[in-house]
Amino acid sequence: MKHKKKIIFISIGLILALGTWLYFKNSGTGKNDLFAQVKKGDFEITVFVAGELEAKNSVSIMGPQELQGLGIYQVKISDLIPEGSVVKKGDYIGELDKSELASKLKDANNDVQKYQTQLEQAKLDTALTLRQARDEILNLEFSVEEKKLTLEQSTYEPPATIKQIKMDMEKAIRGLDQAKKNYLLKKNQMVAKTQEVLVSLQRMQDKYEAMLALEAKFTITAPEGGMLIYYRDWDGDKRIVGSTIHAWNPAVATLPDLTKMISKTYVNEVDIRKIKQKQKVSISLDAYPEKKLTGVVSTVANIGEQNPKNDSKVFEVIIEMTQKDSVLLPAMTTGNNVIVDVIKNVLSVPLECIHTDEKNNSYVFLSENFSVVKKQVKPGKTNENFVIIEKGLAENDKLLLSTPENAADMKLVPLSK
């Protein structure tokens, strides 16, 4: 009995070995060949773009906004606390370089002193000039009185003498009137000159005081509490110690609202036509590969811009996160798969399964009945990893991912009509 069972087991083993040998002989495959099955289901077409997390809303920490009004158009950051620091309202953030401001303060102070000197000189000139004019008027008044007295005493003088005396008196009166008018003109002129110097002095004093107030603002403090994130320029560079801030954009850092995050990304001009608002996005984090998050396209730029890294044109796309997670922090790199289309209930296979011959026929290596067939297929749309099969295969068909050794000898099985 035991001998009979042994013969049965040996026979089964020989049959299995023979079948395996025939399979590999006919198929040209080996034990290391990899296979994939034809799957049926919804097919997602995506556009992949890398992005960077930002807070949807944030409070900007600004340098002085009065720079341009005081003739300062750019200034360097001389000190800045580490990025990621958690600060409270009023905490120290950093310091701006005061060297240019110090130079302008010195110049403004010198101008204040110069105008103060000019004002004192104008006052002295006014006092001296007007005193001389008043003395001249007083002398002319004495001269007129003298002429009047002479006229009164000339009753018995010859008519010619009396006429001359009258003419001298009238001349003295005209001279007095002219002197009084000249006095008023000189007074108005001196007052105007003094006022002009006074206005210049006041303007320079205001400028000097504004610079003193501005100097205090070169020490940057937090407008409210939060996590400090360095401000990024349009080209993506962070503003750090040694960076320059400009009068028209004096931002130093931001305090982001971490409860609402976005992924900012840039899509090339070839793919941008596929991207639309409200499309769903599958999001991964480089820092946490195991996390899978979701988002939605909220904004698509209408106008392209130059990619600072190369010569291509790109369009800014904002993806709003639809999930909250405590690990989400600004500046994290994201992988964004934008779902641009979903095709329902179709067959698909990995792209590696599809081959093309010199006649542009697409085919696969189909495993069936212990052999491999070179089968023509009709492929459809593709995504990053898979392709739709419109004709030529059925669900659960088994395909080789690699090319068999005897592929060149195989005959192509065409699509059925």
Q: What is the per-residue DSSP string for 80-134? A: EPPTT-EE-TT-EEEEE--HHHHHHHHHHHHHHHHHHHHHHHHHHHHHHHHHHHH
**DSSP designation for 70:** G
- The model's pTM: 0.58
Q: What is the CATH number of the domain that holds 188?
A: 1.10.287.620
Q: Where is the domain boundary, 168, 189, 217?
A: 217
pLDDT in tens, the chain (417 residues): 445 555 554 555 455 444 444 444 444 444 456 899 999 999 999 999 999 999 999 899 999 988 888 888 999 999 999 998 999 999 999 999 999 989 989 999 999 999 999 989 988 988 898 899 898 889 888 888 888 888 888 878 888 888 888 898 889 899 889 989 998 998 898 889 899 999 999 999 998 998 898 899 999 999 999 899 999 887 778 899 999 999 899 999 999 988 899 999 999 998 999 999 999 999 999 999 999 999 999 999 999 888 766 677 899 999 999 988 888 888 899 999 999 999 999 999 999 999 999 889 999 999 988 889 999 999 999 988 899 999 999 999 999 998 888 888 899 999 886
| 33, 365 contact by CB (below 8 A) | no
Task: Find the Cα–Cα–Cα–Cα dihedral 97, 103, 109, 110, rounded to 10°.
Answer: 180
Report the C-alpha gap between 368 and 292 in whole angstroms. Answer: 37
Range(s) of the domain holding residue 43: 26-47+342-413
Which residue has tokens 């403004």?
Answer: 108
Domain co-membership, 204 together with 117: yes
* 143 lies in the same domain as 108: yes
Contact between residue 228 and residue 248 where contact means Cβ atoms under 8 Å apart = no
Q: Is the same domain home to 151 and 212?
A: yes
Looking at the domain assignment, is residue 134 inside a domain? yes
Shared-domain flag, residues 134 and 195: yes
- Regarding whether 356 and 207 lie in a shared domain, the answer is no
Three-state DSSP class for residue 254: strand
Same domain, 211 and 225: no
DSSP three-state, residue 369: coil
